[in-house]
Amino acid sequence: MNLAEISDADLDNISGGLAAGVSGGLYLQTPLAEVCADLLAVATDDGVAVGTSMHAATTTAL
């Protein structure tokens, strides 16, 4: 069995390193509809990742 060693600097980069993130959300409810939106952004030394989602639904009275 061969075992590989990894340096502390390489381990820091793999396990997180330097990163920053921002997230936010919006929820709006009216008598006619509900809207939900989310935003996520993460920046690392490898680049930037951005994600968004949105959901809208109509409401009805029973």
Q: Could you say which DSSP state residue 20 is in?
A: E
- Show contacts of 32-40: CB within 8 Å, 24+ apart: 32/58, 32/59, 33/57, 33/58, 33/59, 34/59
Predicted confidence (pLDDT) per residue in 31-58, tens digit: 889 999 999 888 877 788 899 999 899 8
CATH 1.20.58 fits 19-58, yes or no: no
45 or 14, which is more confident?
45
pTM tops 0.85, yes or no = no
Q: What SS3 class is residue 32?
A: coil
Residue 29: pLDDT over 80: yes
Longest distance between any two alpha carbons in the chain, whole Å: 67
Query: For the chain, which residues make up each domain, given as ranges?
Result: 19-58
